[in-house]
Structure 1
């Protein structure tokens, strides 16, 4: 991928606009909760019944506090 220099405010604003348009398109097609920003407002994420992993850091990284109950989860690595 090309290395883009986003040092000017105009370029940053354009990149931010493209990102927001992509997020809006995903939300429009797949619904709210289909995409979430890392570190976003906790009120924006839907509440799921979860199974805690026992690792606080892993639960936080998963974004919902654990593994979603009643869903198929693949653990790879």
Structure 2
């Protein structure tokens, strides 16, 4: 049987990058949606900051449910 070609450190680095990318994707999406309303620079920054908060919350929710799902498979 063939094992993973990634070391544990490489897996952790990849997972961290995916998490950061997910949060940044949500934040950028909220910033782009705010641009449709012609915001001031402060309003745009607030929208992106709110996107980071929402992205972290979504990430927490997804990871928590994924852990519950994995534990139910065992």
Place the TM-score, normalised by the shorter chain, in its bin: 0.3 to 0.5
TM-score (norm 2): 0.34
Tell me which protein shows more helix as a share of its residues: 2
Instruction: Identify the structure with bigger relative contact order (alpha carbons < 8 Å, sequence gap 6+).
Output: 2
TM-score (norm 1): 0.32
Tell me which protein shows more strand as a share of its residues: 1
